[in-house]
Amino acid sequence: MVSLALCAAAGVASAAAAGNGADSLSDADKTCLQCHAQEGFKKDLANGEALSLHVQGEAFAGSVHKAIGCAGCHGDVDLKNHPGATSNIRSVRQYSVERADTCRQCHEDAFKQHEGSLHATRLRQGSPVAPVCTGCHGSHSVSPKTAYETCVSCHAAALGAHQKWLPNATLHHEVVSCAACHAPTVLRMIDLRLYDGVAKRWVSEQEGQAQFEKLARSIDADGNGLDPRELRNLLKEVNRDAAAPPKTLRGRVELRTGVEAHQLSDKAQALKACDNCHRDGAEPFQNITVSITGPDGRPIRYRAQKEVLTSVLSVDSLREFYAIGGTRSRFLDILFVLTLLAGIGVPIGHMTVRWLSRRYLGKGSGQSATHDSPDRNR
């Protein structure tokens, strides 16, 4: 059976990318960086602003856009007359808004999801702070980030605001994707991700060593998703190396497709009712995946059966994930009821036997004394 011995703690992939550095870029990209890698490289605009033209080669080499290179987004640039006329750039903001259409060339699906969102509405209304693509994802250093990291870069006061009304707000922010509540029309799921409790970070798969999905497929022989027993076997295989820090599974409420995170609504429409998650049969608990962080930072997911959350066989596998109402085990419920009945029944039974003993034994003693009394008086 395939082992995950090659799994390393989160951060290995990004470190490897950084190790390659700007030297790993194409010759065409290196040509661009001869100017754009200079610190302070900028364009002074007529309105007095300075448009930064600086690109960090190391950051771009570690970005998800390294594969398409500079020309992938700047195909309109003609090196023969570059930079050409730039007098039409009125402001840094105007340039950012207009350049966002470049992203549409590859990410049309994300734009369709985004068009009806709160951010898009504010952008159409002319809000100077409404984010464009680069506002959330960056420009030349685009890398996968958690939704929480992306959101709090602007909404730093979000945790404090939630603490005013949401019980255990800190934990909710750790295990629930922002869009899971703030994009109320999308479909949610539970993602069980491998976690290194010693290093306190997500487990990451090394680049070029795609073992996780191969391992999961070998354990899920019938191909219908990991059942509780198979999930336990997967975790056992992941932890085969006794000398390595133990890996566990931590659950998160995520969106079934990441692109739907663009459907953000006004906060008045956000989900606030606890029973959206904390009840038997809640929608997020009907779709389950098990995942590891991939080399590029994005999760590599494998489907699991929803029964893994409630089976007694999963108690050890999911000891770090429990959601009140959503992950209730019927077996444990029955066991609790039986224990409760035993706890009540034993003392009641004891008291009943004691009362009956006193009553009938006492009555027998009284009758014996009555029969014996004439003999004593003779």
Q: How far apart are CA 366 and CA 373, in angstroms?
A: 11
50 three-state secondary structure: strand
Integer-rounded Cα Rg, in Å, for the chain is: 32
The count of residues in the chain is 378
| Tens digits of residue pLDDT in 44-92 | 998 999 999 999 999 999 898 999 999 999 988 888 888 776 668 889 9
- pTM of the predicted model as reported, rounded to 2 decimal places: 0.76
Cα separation of 220 and 241, whole Å?
A: 21
The H or E element that residue 92 is part of is helix 92-104
Tell me what pLDDT residue 186 has: 93
- 322 or 162: whose pLDDT is higher? 162
pLDDT for the residue 17: 37
Averaged pLDDT of the chain: 85
- 255: closest CA among 354, 186, 336? 186
pLDDT digits (tens, 9 = 90+) for 79-130: 888 877 666 888 999 999 999 999 999 999 999 999 999 999 999 999 999 9
Out of 142-156, 298-312, 354-368, pick the least confident: 354-368
Q: Is the pLDDT of residue 18 over 50?
A: no
pLDDT of 219-267, one tens digit each? Answer: 999 999 999 999 999 999 999 998 999 999 999 999 998 889 999 999 8
